[in-house]
């Protein structure tokens, strides 16, 4: 009996799998000269919209393809095969990312989580109730508070008289969902404020 190497074994397995796939679906054999539209698409994505995104969990930045129906409901996700990091694969958390948006009911299947917060909520000091606010109000309020905190905590010179121009009253916590360009611009902005407490959740 001829002894085959591990490489040859895997190569033969791959060729055999490809042959079986073509036999099971003859349409795939002539895919090169047939445009894949309508009925030729896989049933899971035939009548849905495909949206590209980046996984929001760890710092790897894997590419994900999300599929939504005509009611704009997330119904399926898979790894992006063209993404250089994950090349179509997803971990357990990435595979379950659509359930951040949905709740799984026994009889109705996946339904949109009714308790999902869609608008900014604000609780005034001493209050026991949350108030719904607009995004314009929330962003303006955040800007005011950042400016106030920076002005109060800004240190121009340290105890030795050395110019430091730093603000120690604000810290930032980055997101792995941001790309390099976004992180670069945010880092420049934070440094211009004098921030020294700059951290990222992927590093922690």
Residues 6+ apart with CB under 8 A from 135: 119, 120
pTM for the structure as a whole: 0.55
What per-residue confidence (pLDDT) applies to 37?
A: 38
Sign of CA dihedral 110, 114, 118, 120: negative
- Helix/strand/coil for 172: strand
- β-strand partners of 112: 102
For residue 121, give the nearest of 130, 112, 129 by alpha carbon. 130
Tokens coding 123: 């609780």
Q: Which residues of the chain have pLDDT under 50?
A: 24, 26-41
Residue 15 CB-half CA count within 13 A: 6
Q: Could you give the CA distance from residue 68 to residue 77 in angstroms, rounded to a whole number?
A: 9
Q: Which residues pair with 195 in a beta bridge?
A: 167
Residues 59 and 183: beta-carbon distance below 8 Å: no
pLDDT at 44: 56
> How high is the pLDDT of residue 144?
95
Please list the residues that pair with 104 across neighbouring strands: 110
SS3 per residue for 61-85 = CCEEEEEECCCCCEEEEEECCCCCC
* pLDDT for position 115: 81
Give CA separation, 97 vs 34, 44, 121, 168, in Å. 33, 17, 24, 36
Element containing residue 25 per DSSP (H, E): none
- Among 197, 24, 177, which Cα is nearest to 94's? 177
């Amino acid at each position: 009996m001829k002894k085959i190497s591990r490489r040859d074994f895997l190569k033969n397995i791959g060729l055999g799998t490809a042959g079986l796939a073509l036999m099971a679906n003859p349409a795939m054999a002539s895919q090169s000269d047939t445009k894949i539209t309508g009925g030729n698409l896989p049933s899971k994505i035939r009548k849905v919209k495909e949206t590209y995104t980046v996984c929001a969990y760890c710092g790897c930045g894997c590419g994900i393809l999300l599929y939504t129906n005509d009611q704009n409901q997330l119904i399926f996700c898979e790894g992006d095969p063209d993404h250089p990091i994950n090349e179509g694969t997803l971990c357990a958390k990435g595979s379950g990312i659509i359930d951040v948006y949905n709740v799984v009911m026994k009889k109705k299947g996946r339904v949109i989580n009714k308790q999902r917060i869609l608008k900014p909520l604000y609780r005034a000091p001493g209050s026991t109730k949350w108030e719904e606010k607009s995004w314009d109000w929330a962003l303006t309020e955040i800007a005011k508070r950042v400016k106030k905190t920076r002005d109060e905590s800004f240190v121009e010179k340290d105890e030795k008289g050395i110019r430091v121009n730093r603000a120690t009253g604000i810290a930032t916590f980055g997101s792995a969902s941001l790309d390099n360009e976004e992180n670069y611009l945010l880092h420049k902005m934070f440094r211009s404020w004098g921030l020294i407490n700059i951290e990222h959740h992927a590093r922690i």
